[in-house]
Amino acid sequence: MTRFKKIALGVLVVLLGMQLIPSKNNTAPELEKHPLFVDYPTSHTVENTIRFACGDCHSNHTEYPWYSNIQPVGMWLDHHVEEGKEHFNIDAWNEYTPKKQKHKIEECMEVIESGEMPMESYVKMHPKANLTEVQKKEIKLWAKGLIDSLDRRHHLPKEIRSDR
């Protein structure tokens, strides 16, 4: 057997072996209303935009595509979901302090404004997540209102109040 065939066979064995590694699957039952929207209601339009554009990576329920069952793609997706939830999880809203809630919403505005989110690689496979300028503006207005509500509701000190 040639050296190339041995390497190809080795790669094939590794890839086949990887198929035995199960994905973590972020599949808690989808909530009818995420805690964030229970505490701070918004329009159906904004809520759906956030749910469909952000929810797969930033909630406890991910709608997995068929190719997520193929490793190493499944592991890569699991990593993205874990990382997304680390940054912000709309299902963990009630677990954040008011100061952290405000910070998370400010970060959301920043990454949407800068174009970091939704990630380009995600949008390619999930066109529904590609936010229009109108959707971005709606989310930004909602976020500003939410920040104002947090400031008022929790009497946050001026040094952590938003200047937005």
Query: How many Å apart are CA 23 and CA 148, to the nearest integer?
Result: 40
Q: Which residues are paired to 61 by β-bridges?
A: 27
User: Is 157 a residue whose pLDDT tops 90?
Assistant: no
Rounded Cα–Cα distance for residues 29 and 15 (Å)? 31
Q: What is the pLDDT of residue 58?
A: 94
Dump pLDDT digits (tens) for 78-108: 998 999 999 999 999 999 999 999 999 999 9
Q: Which residues contact 93 (CB under 8 A, 6 or more apart)?
A: 34, 35, 36, 39, 101
pLDDT of 43 above 70: yes
117, 88 in Cβ contact below 8 A? no
Average per-residue pLDDT in the chain?
Answer: 86
Sorting pLDDT into bands at 50, 70 and 90, what band is 6?
confident
Strand, helix or coil for residue 100: helix
- Which pLDDT value is given to residue 156? 66
| Domains of the chain by residue range | 24-160
